[in-house]
Structure formats: C-alpha cells, structure tokens
A and B are shown apart, each in its own frame.
Chain A
Amino acid sequence: MSIRIDDELCTGCGSCVASCPYGGIEIIDDKAHITEDCNLCGACVEACTVEAIILEREEFKVKRVDISKYKGIWVIAEHYKDKIHDVAYQLLGKGRELADILKVNLTLVILGANFDNLLDEFSYYGVDEIIYVKSKILKDYYSDLYVKVLTELISKNKPEIILIGATPTGRDFAPRVAKRLNAGLTADCTGLDIDAETRNLLQTRPTFGGNIMATIRTPRSRPQMATVRPGIFKTPEKVKKEIKIRKIDYDFKEKDTVSKIVKIITKEKVTVNLEEAEIIVSGGRGVGSKENFKIIEELATTLNAEVGGSRVAVELNWIDNDHQVGQTGKTVSPRLYIACGISGAIQHIVGMQNSDIIVAINKDENAPIFKTAHYGIVGDLHKVIPSLIKEIKKVRAEETI
C-alpha cells in the first residue's frame, strides 16, 4: 500500500492539488509531494494528466473470496408496528433495475412476526422471491438478533448485493453484519449503478458535508453491501408477478440477546414528516421573526405542504427543531421545495438538493440559493407570498371547474 510520484513524468501542473479533497498533496520545486494528510483516496491519480501518480496496493496472503459464487440482489426490509418502511419499496424499484442488468433474482428479506398475510402484497413490487424469517421476538428490532439471522442467511445463500435503508435501524445492523462477514459496506448512498463487465456495484454518496460526491466500489469481495438514503428512489409502479415465498420459523435462544427493550415512547405531539412530504415550504433568516413564520405556514396550508426551517430559524426558536432541513437536520426530497428567505448555505443545500423542483424567494439577488433553485423570485417574501397564495388559489379554482 503506497502512493508515489514519478518525478520524471510530473510536470508540476498542480491539477492533482486541486483535485485533492484532503489537502494531501503539494507542489514543491515544481514536483508533486504527498503529505501526511493523504488518505489514499486516489482522486489525484485520475486528475493527473501525465499518469505520474501511482497508487499501489500491496498483496497479502488474504483469503480471497470467490466472487463468482455470489448471485442475486437482496433488499432487507425494516418495519415498525407491522408496517414495512417505505424505503424497502424504493429499494425494490432500484433493485429490480440492477437485477435486470445482472440477470439475477431480486429477493426481499423480512424478519418479523406478523407478516404471513401481507407477503402477497409484495408480489406487486418487482420481487422474485421473499425470505420471511418468522419469530415472535422479531416483532421488534434487536441489533444482535438481526445480525445473527442475516449473517447466517447471507453466508448460506451468497447474494452479491445487499441493499438496506439508511435509517437509524439499517445503519445499526448493517455495519455489524458487514464486519462479521468481512464485507464492504457503503453508507447512505444516493446513487446506485452496475458496472456490467465486473458486476461491481457503483455506490455514489455525498461526503465531506455534502460538498463532494464519491463513487465507491467493492471490487475484490462479496457481498457488496450498501445502505441507501430514504426518499432518493421512487416506489415502483405496481405490477403483479409470480413470486416464491420461503418461510423460515426461527427459534432464538435466550443468550442470543443481552439487550431488552424497556419501552417504546411515541412523541405525543404529531410531528412533521418532512421525509415523506410531497411539498415543503421552508423559512430562514429572511422571515424575520416567529410572528412572521405564520406566513410560511399559510403558504404551506394552501399547498397542503409541510413546513420546514433552516438552521438559523431553528436556532432563533422561530420553529421547532423537528422541522430543520439540512445536514444537521432532515434530508428531504419532495416534489416541490420552496425556500423563503433562506440564503442557501451548503449545510442547508445538502438537505434539500434532491427535491424535484426547488423555488427560492429571497430579496438578495446574489444569495447562493438561486444557484440551486430551478425558479427564483427576487423580492420581499412578505409581499411575494401573499401574491403567490392568491395565484395558487386561482389555479386551484380553475382546476375544479
């Protein structure tokens, strides 16, 4: 494992320096030098126009995985109160696409207690096979039980790709499963593709606070595991399909878990569900005060939308932190996102850039939000929003005629 510069080839052009996200390369005396900050990510290797940077991986006597023995794509479902999390349906849609490229089966894996009568419902979502592991205790989620069952199933059946929702639950068991199997795992992916030749899964995800995107692959081993951000892929159209159902009754022993669930608390207040909202109207510093936030709520009501807020709006207590959109809040991908009085700091953009359509209303015409917005209105939101509400009502009235 090492990175080195071929001084004879290096022209000192500096394109490697610009490509490096870590500040791990410098030009000294017209030649590139690797610094201690280098993370061996290889971005410079690709950026170098004269092929002067060489990244070598030492080969050790590691037990090699026979990649050809692994076939098929699995989606692991997560559930709560006997309802499967939406991200599983989204993953079935994407999984079907990937399975068709690889010409393999798509399998849905459910660990639960009360799904016998619901399995048929999944035959509409592109799946070829369901593995249903049934046990009373699996009504709830237990880290150690999920890890045990999944590693056993994966070791036996050898799927080449495993997709899991990047929820607090998926991100709890996926790393442990990956570790137990010594498998590569990529977190919180927002893009998935297949390199048809190598059958490698190309996993794209934001990194560095969402400032850059990285495409990750797991070329030397199987399975390839990824957690995938909810709300990125669409739930597929319903089409009935013949499916095979494998039901496994599983008997756990007491020693299988040392944890116990004391209780589950549901917040009394009906909180917002920004992640699943079709339309979100968000307010930022430009709204001006807690009082003024009513106008944001009014626009949201007109559009039957949820209300969001920037970090500043939450910090100033204009709106509860459940409503915060951004890197430190929620990541949302509605069909329509209206940003009102939000300047567009990267930390906010990261949380909403996947929205289908973004509208920005801001009185500062140089606000960075206009670079992300599909439609921008430069103007005082306190005047623009009332006018917009009027117009929307007009459109709605026309539709009902």
Chain B
Amino acid sequence: MKIFVCIKQVPGISEVKIDPKTNTLIREGIPSIINPMDKNGIELALKIKEEREAEVIAISMGPSQAEKALREALAMGADRAFLLTDRAFAGADTLATSHALALSIKKILNDSKKDEKYIIICGTQAIDGDTAQVGPELAEELQIPQITYVQKFELKDDDSIIAERVFRTEEIVVIETKLPVLISVLKQINTPKYPTMSGIIDAYEQKEVTKLDAKALNADKAFIGLTGSQTEVWKIFIPERKGEHIKLTGTIEEMSRELCQKLKEDKIF
C-alpha cells in the first residue's frame, strides 16, 4: 500500500503581528512550519504503516525552501518525499494546485509499476489560506471517494476504511468507504511525535527529496499556476477595526452603569 501525505509549508501565523504605523504585516522572524494539521496527517500515515506494509510518501508544492518541510516529514518517518517546484506553478489557486498534485501522484503510482492500493491524507485546512479545498479537488481529479474533517480513522481490511467525520458541533457521522480514498484530518485525530535524532540524521543523509518541475509532470501550462487558476486576488487589505473604541471611566459602579446604558442605546437590552 502507498500512503501519500500532502503537506504545505506555512508561516507560523500565530506569531504574525501588524505594524500599527504602516498597517502592514511584520514578517521578520516568523518561522516557516509544516501546516499543523498536515503534521497530524504524517502521524496518521506512520501509524497505519506500523500495522500494514506501506510506503509513506510526502508531497509538497512550493518554492525550493519548502524542501525543509519535506525533510522534517522524512525525519518523522516518511519514506520518500517529492517537492513540486517551478515558477510555472506559482500563483496557483486550489484548482491549479490540486491539478499539479494529482499529476505527481499519478506519476509516482505509474512509476512504481505495482498495482497497489493507496490512501491520500491531507490536513483539513492550512492555517494561512484556510480554504480546505485542495483535498476534495484532488480526490475529484483522481476520481476517488473522500472523507473530510476526519477525527478518527481505521483500516477495516485491505479494501476499505472506516472514519469518523465531524459535520456539526453535536454530530459525528461514521462513514465506511473503499480504497483508494482521500481523507482530510483534524488536529484531534492524534498528537504528532517529534522526530528522533536518528530520524533527523536519516532525513538528511539517507533519504532524498525528489524535485519535480512542470516538465517532469508533463503538465499542460493551461492548467497550472496563475494561468490555470479561475480565481484571482483582486485586492488585499488589512481590515480596519470597526467602529469607535470607548474606554469607560470612573468607579466600577459608574462604569457598569454606563456600560448598561450604552448597551441599552445599542438595543442589546
């Protein structure tokens, strides 16, 4: 069995601050990390591998420095890694991204020459874009079933899986489906382990990150990068803080009274 894990290198968003003077993002010193839910994906792949004979393959699309994220995946225990990197991929929306990923998965399956079952694991969404679209679009292109928002997963047998999908605050649906399949996972599915020292050494000395460009994938430029994208960013702006900001003054009793008065004027009460 092959287990593909799609990962994205993202900026550590929670560290991002806005420069109040220029109203722009302060990027200095922001580390690049593996998107957190993708790490849960790697962890799940490794867990499946403990139970079954499987090869874990990490794939990422991004600039050349995304290699670092793939090395980390290798250090965690992934067997092979592929980086789709080419200026021709830049500016891709989710349609164009999922197309490039689909081409790479087809190529890897083709090259292996074995007729193997496979599972694709994605993080449900990335913390920078938050679209949650690449997974389902990838599944659609490969014409395989999908289960998204997965919080629990098990292989039923060699042919099928059972997964718990969170679809409402109060409801979870348990779905059974057949391989090959794509699942997208939530953070509560597991706790990713840190790589071991020998894992890290292997990732740099024993294992490889294979780079694939548009040519290697035989990609039609009409369907990748900016040109292959249907959506485009028209405008980017920093949100204005809405409305007035009133700091109340006086004793605690006075402030409480004033607040109630204001909330009454605002028709909250």
Asked whether any CB of chain A lies closer than 8 Å to the CB of B201, the reply is no
In the complex, the answer to whether B245 meets A376 with C-beta atoms within 8 Å is yes
User: What mask results when residues 227 to 268 of chain A are scored 1 for a CB within 8 Å of chain B, else 0?
Assistant: 000000000000000000000000000000011111111110
Query: At the interface with chain B, which of A106-114, A120-128, A213-221, A284-292?
Result: A213-221
Chain A hits for B149, CB < 8 A:
168, 172
Extra A-B contacts (19), CB below 8 Å, given A178-B133, A180-B140? A1-B227, A60-B227, A143-B147, A175-B134, A176-B139, A179-B136, A188-B131, A188-B132, A212-B238, A215-B235, A215-B237, A261-B174, A353-B239, A357-B266, A374-B243, A374-B244, A377-B247, A388-B259, A391-B256
Q: What is the size, in residues, of chain B's interface with A at 8 Å between Cβ atoms?
A: 94
User: What mask results when residues 29 to 59 of chain A are scored 1 for a CB within 8 Å of chain B, else 0?
Assistant: 0000000111111110010000000000110
Q: A261-B175, A271-B170, A336-B268 are in contact. Are A1 and B226 (CB under 8 A)?
A: yes
Instruction: Give the B-binding residues of A (Cβ under 8 A).
Output: 1-2, 18-19, 21, 23, 36-43, 46, 57-58, 60-62, 80, 141, 143-144, 147, 167-169, 171-176, 178-180, 182-188, 202, 206-209, 211-221, 258-267, 271-273, 275, 279, 322, 327-328, 335-336, 345-347, 353, 356-357, 359, 365, 370-379, 383-384, 387-388, 390-392, 394-396, 399
Asked whether any CB of chain A lies closer than 8 Å to the CB of B47, the reply is no
In the complex, the answer to whether A176 meets B137 with C-beta atoms within 8 Å is yes
Asked whether any CB of chain A lies closer than 8 Å to the CB of B100, the reply is no
Q: Given B65, B175, B229, which contacts A262 in the complex, CB threshold below 8 Å?
A: B175
In the complex, the answer to whether B256 meets A36 with C-beta atoms within 8 Å is no
User: What mask results when residues 35 to 68 of chain B are scored 1 for a CB within 8 Å of chain A, else 0?
Assistant: 0000000000000000000000000000111000
Query: At the interface with chain A, which of B20-28, B103-111, B192-200, B202-210?
Result: B20-28
Chain B hits for A265, CB < 8 A:
164, 171-174
CB<8 Å pairs between A and B, sample of 22:
A23-B27, A46-B236, A173-B136, A182-B95, A185-B94, A209-B13, A212-B239, A215-B236, A216-B231, A217-B231, A220-B230, A261-B174, A261-B175, A267-B170, A327-B14, A347-B14, A374-B245, A379-B252, A379-B255, A384-B252, A388-B256, A399-B269
In the complex, the answer to whether A275 meets B27 with C-beta atoms within 8 Å is no
Central interface residue in A43, A46, A176, A347, by most chain B CB within 10 Å: A176
Chain A hits for B166, CB < 8 A:
168
Q: Given A208, A261, A359, which contacts B16 in the complex, CB threshold below 8 Å?
A: A208
CB-nearest residue of chain B relative to A187? B131
In the complex, the answer to whether B171 meets A62 with C-beta atoms within 8 Å is no
Instruction: Give the A-binding residues of B (Cβ under 8 A).
Output: 11, 13-14, 16-18, 22, 24-25, 27, 63-65, 87-88, 90-91, 93-95, 98, 127-137, 139-141, 145-149, 162, 164-178, 187, 221-222, 225-227, 229-239, 241-248, 252-253, 255-257, 259-260, 262-264, 266, 268-269
**Complexed CA–CA distance, A197 and B112 (Å):** 52
In the complex, the answer to whether A36 meets B130 with C-beta atoms within 8 Å is no
Give the dominant DSSP class at A's interface: mixed
In the complex, the answer to whether B63 meets A172 with C-beta atoms within 8 Å is no
Give the dominant DSSP class at B's interface: mixed
In the complex, the answer to whether A384 meets B221 with C-beta atoms within 8 Å is no
CB-nearest residue of chain A relative to B258? A375
**Complexed CA–CA distance, A45 and B260 (Å):** 47
CB-nearest residue of chain B relative to A188? B130
Chain B hits for A41, CB < 8 A:
91, 233, 236
Chain A hits for B170, CB < 8 A:
266-267, 271
**Complexed CA–CA distance, A273 and B175 (Å):** 24
Q: A168-B149, A262-B162 are in contact. Are A390 and B172 (CB under 8 A)?
A: no
CB-nearest residue of chain B relative to A322? B169
Chain A hits for B231, CB < 8 A:
184-186, 216-218
**Complexed CA–CA distance, A273 and B24 (Å):** 35
In the complex, the answer to whether A262 meets B176 with C-beta atoms within 8 Å is yes
What are the 4 A-B residue pairs with the smallest beta carbon separation, nearest first?
A40-B91, A184-B230, A209-B13, A175-B136
Q: Given A211, A376, A392, which contacts B246 in the complex, CB threshold below 8 Å?
A: A376
In the complex, the answer to whether A258 meets B177 with C-beta atoms within 8 Å is yes
Q: Given A37, A214, A383, which contacts B63 in the complex, CB threshold below 8 Å?
A: A37
In the complex, the answer to whether A209 meets B232 with C-beta atoms within 8 Å is no
In the complex, the answer to whether A40 meets B90 with C-beta atoms within 8 Å is yes
In the complex, the answer to whether A19 meets B24 with C-beta atoms within 8 Å is yes
In the complex, the answer to whether B173 meets A261 with C-beta atoms within 8 Å is yes
In the complex, the answer to whether B131 meets A359 with C-beta atoms within 8 Å is no
In the complex, the answer to whether B174 meets A58 with C-beta atoms within 8 Å is no
Q: A208-B13, A266-B170 are in contact. Are A178 and B239 (CB under 8 A)?
A: no
In the complex, the answer to whether B239 meets A263 with C-beta atoms within 8 Å is no
Give, as a whole number of angstroms, the nearest-CB distance from A298 to chain B. 14
**Complexed CA–CA distance, A371 and B128 (Å):** 23
Chain A hits for B242, CB < 8 A:
353
Q: Given A42, A141, A328, A395, which contacts B233 in the complex, CB threshold below 8 Å?
A: A42
Give, as a whole number of angstroms, the nearest-CB distance from B213 to chain A. 13
Give, as a whole number of angstroms, the nearest-CB distance from B57 to chain A. 22
Chain A hits for B139, CB < 8 A:
176
Q: A213-B239, A335-B268, A371-B241 are in contact. Are A184 and B234 (CB under 8 A)?
A: no
